[in-house]
Copies of this chain bind each other. A is one copy, B any other.
Amino acid sequence: MEEGVERISSNDLSKQMKVTASQIRQDLNNFGGFGQQGYGYNVKYLYTEIGKILGLDIDHKMIIIGAGNLGQALANYAAFEKRGFILEGLFDVNPRLAGVTIRGVEIRMMDELKEFVQKNDIEIAALTIPKAKAIEVADLLVENGVKAIWNFAHTDLDLQEDVIVENVHLSESLMQLSYNITRYREEHK
C-alpha cells in the first residue's frame, strides 16, 4: 500500500512474505477469503480487513504499570497509537517520577491505580514491573475491570479465564537465540 500497489497476487505476496502462495491463500480463506481467482487481492481492502481481524479498527485504552526504562520505552513508541492503542496513564512507585509526563501522559503513583482504572475504562495494562509485585498488581487490575495484560514481568500470571494475557519474556527470547547458535555450531562442526 505504501508503494502505491493497488492489487497483488498471492504469488507476489508470497515472495515478499517468504511463505508459500498456497499457505497465504489457505490462511486468508480461514477468515473468509479476500481475493478473486485471476484478480488477486485488493491491497487496501486486504489491509482494512486484516486490521479488523486484529481488532485494530477500534481504539484500545491502555496503561503502563512501571515507568522504568522499559515502561518509558513502550510509552515513547508512538507507532502503537497509530494502531489504536491509546496510552491513558503510566504508574510507578517511585515518588520522584510523580507528575513527570512522557509524550503528554502523566506518571501517577500506584495508590491512584484502582480508581483510575475504574473511571477510565482501561482495557489493556502493560506490566513492566519486577516479578515480586506482578501477580498482586495483575489481580488488582483484573478486579477493577482490565481485560488484557501485556506481561513483561518475568513470571507467569494465573488469571481467570476471561482475561487475555500476552507474555513478553525477554530472557526466553535470548535463550532461543542461544539455542540456535548452539544448534548451528553442532551442525557445522
Query: Is B174 in contact with A83, judged by CB distance below 8 angstroms?
Result: yes
Query: Is A178 in contact with B55, judged by CB distance below 8 angstroms?
Result: yes
Digitize A145-184: 1 where CB-to-B-CB distance is under 8 Å, 0 elsewhere: 0011010001000000010101010110111111111101
Query: Is A83 in contact with B175, judged by CB distance below 8 angstroms?
Result: yes
Residues A150 and B164 in contact in the complex (CB < 8 Å), given A53-B182, A60-B181 = no
Interface size for A (C-beta < 8 A) is 42
Copies of this protein chain in the complex: 2
Residues A73 and B68 in contact in the complex (CB < 8 Å), given A164-B184, A180-B164, A181-B55 = yes
| C-alpha gap A164/B123 in the complex (Å) | 36
Give the distance to chain B from A63, nearest Cβ to Cβ, in Å.
14
Partner of A176, one of B77, B154, B166: B166
**Residue of B at shortest CB range from A188?**
B162
A-side residues, CB < 8 A to B, are 53-56, 60, 68-70, 72-74, 76-77, 79-80, 83-85, 123-124, 147-148, 150, 154, 162, 164, 166, 168, 170-171, 173-182, 184, 188
